[in-house]
Amino acid sequence: MTSLAGKSVLLIIGGGIAAYKIHELIRLLKTRGARTRIILTKAAEEFVTPLSLAGLSGEKVYTHLFSLTDEVEMGHIQLSRAADLLVVAPATADLIAKMANGLADDLASTALLATDKRVLVAPAMNVRMWRHAATQRNIEVLKRDGVTLVGPNEGEMACGEFGPGRMSEPNEILSSIVELLKPRSQPLAGKKVVITAGPTREPIDPVRFISNHSSGKQGYAIAKAAVDLGAETILISGPVALLVPPGVQMIPVETAQDMLRACEAELPGDIAIFTAAVADWRVTAQATGKLKKSAGAPPSLTLTENPDILATISHHAARPRVVVGFAAETEHVTDHAIAKLKRKGCDLIVANDVSKDSGVFGGDRNTVHLVSDGGIESWPQMSKDEVAQRLMGRLVQTLVLRQKASE
């Protein structure tokens, strides 16, 4: 049984019937040695009482009412700062909508907006509310903001309907809490890592675009590895079908020009890793209306070369200390990578074979060669997660050496 001694959880209870399960969660947290401070929304007070929660947690329970003494003793900013983790359970559709839109009109939503800690959300609502486009849109926003979700589970609901919307069981929520509070070595704490990932989309007209098969998996795996090492992690991503790892800040972009602008806005940063499969060309004159077949002969597209993001950032006045490029090659993999290292001015090229038989594009495994001024190092085939962890481990060493050299 993993101990949570010394850890502090801020539990935000929303107003749903599932709130009756919260006593058990508080009990489980206590058994593990965690300290649980509690905020109740106004609606939650209809389902559970501050008195029973205070008795169980041994802590003062904060309600929706701002009282001057609470603000003096423990302001809402401090409440969320003093915690190691914020847990929202049950997270009602209303509370989720507030979080997704950054509203702060009561103590619960203010604490959620004021936090710089990880947030775990356990949704609980009627199945139709869960499936509603607005809720699904809000959930996507929360995931993009790096919030972790547990559940909802599928099953019979208090209202008699069946489907997804039941809050996870207290032991499931506890497992997610334990996972999020796991101690880890954080050599990149206080450092900023910027990663590009996925394809770019270059519009032809309002409904068509030029793009490529990049899945974004390697870039997302690197973002996860970076955040696990404690880095402030910015993931600048083209359109992909992947979940944003918890704690990672994702900036969605479409075109190469958008991606470059987003990268420049994040400079200088400490480490920049360019895994995106940037479209080399864009359509010179994008049609403002949909191109019609009836217009006669097929249109001929004139292309303009896109900016090289990696080369631009490598030569930038505010260049990050360590800049890494990827090279997707179908033949002469390392030769091309050596040429790219020089041409782009980066510190390291991670070269991989993306020929049809390699299965790299869209697959979960990768075989890479690290090409730098120090030579070529070939790694055996491994999962994209392992490549990400090993690469980040290597970059931590490089960063430390560079810092020492400049001192």
Show which residues are catalytic: 159
> What is the DSSP pairing of strand 118-123 with strand 148-149?
parallel
Least CB distance to ligand CTP at residue 344 (A): 6
Of 302 and 406, the one with the shorter C-beta distance to ligand CTP is: 302
Closer by beta carbon to ligand CTP, 126 or else 306: 306
Q: How far apart are CA 407 and CA 404, in angstroms?
A: 5
From the CB of 78, what's the least distance to ligand CTP, in Å? 42
Question: Cα torsion for 392, 397, 399, 404, to the nearest 10°?
Answer: 170
Instruction: Report in angstroms how near the CB of residue 191 gets to ligand CTP at its nearest.
Output: 20
Name the residue among 152, 155, 148 with its Cα closest to residue 118. 148
Shortest CB 337 distance to ligand CTP, Å: 8
Alpha-carbon distance 275 to 216, whole Å? 8
Q: Which is nearer to ligand CTP, 47 or 274 (CB)?
A: 274
Give CA–CA dist 117/145, Å, rounded: 12
The residue among 142 and 348 lying less far from ligand CTP, judged by its C-beta, is: 348
Contact call for residue 270 and ligand CTP (CB under 6 A): no
Q: 312 to 341, contacts with ligand CTP by CB under 6 A? A: 325-328, 340
What residues from 161 to 200 belong to the interface with ligand CTP (CB under 6 A)? 196
Contact 177, 120 (CB under 8 A): yes
Binding residue count for ligand CTP, defined by CB under 6 A: 15
Binding mask 235-264 for ligand CTP (x = CB under 6 A): ---------------------x--------
Q: Which of 274, 314, 341, 358 binds ligand CTP (CB under 6 A)?
A: 274
- Please report, for residues 97, 188, 377, the alpha-carbon distance to residue 225 in angstroms, rounded to integers and kept in the order given: 29, 11, 21
In terms of Cβ atoms closer than 10 Å to its own Cβ (0-12, 13-18, 19+), residue 149 is buried
Query: How far is Cα 326 from Cα 371, in angstroms, rounded to an integer?
Result: 10
Among 121, 127, 276, 338, contact with ligand CTP (rule: CB under 6 A)? 276
CA distance 42 to 95: 11
Q: Which residue is it, tokens 């949570």?
A: 4
Q: Based on CB atoms, which residue is closest to ligand CTP, 79 or 349?
A: 349
Calpha distance 21→300 (Å, rounded): 63
The residues near 365 (Cβ < 8 Å, ≥ 6 apart) are 359, 381, 382, 383, 384
Residues 8-27 that bind ligand CTP (CB under 6 A): none
Residue nearer to ligand CTP on the CB measure, 230 or 320 = 320
Binding-site member from 45, 205, 280, 386 for ligand CTP (CB under 6 A): 280
- Min CB(340)–ligand CTP separation in Å: 6
Q: Which stretch binds ligand CTP (CB under 6 A): 165-173, 206-214, 301-309, 360-368?
A: 301-309
**Nearest residue to the partner ligand CTP, using Cβ:** 309
Q: Exactly one of 173, 309, 341, 396 binds ligand CTP (CB under 6 A); which one?
A: 309
Segment contacting ligand CTP (CB under 6 A): 14-22, 58-66, 158-166, 307-315?
307-315
- Structural contact between residues 325 and 348, judged by C-beta atoms closer than 8 angstroms: yes
Among 306, 352, 366, 389, interactor with ligand CTP by CB under 6 A: 306
Which one-letter amino acid corresponds to residue 268? P
**How far apart, in whole angstroms, are the C-alpha atoms of residue 85 and residue 116?**
9
Closest approach, Cβ 218 to ligand CTP, in A, equals: 11
User: From CA 398, how far away is CA 407, in angstroms rounded?
Assistant: 14
Binding site for ligand CTP (CB under 6 A): 196, 256, 274, 276, 278, 280, 306, 308-310, 325-328, 340
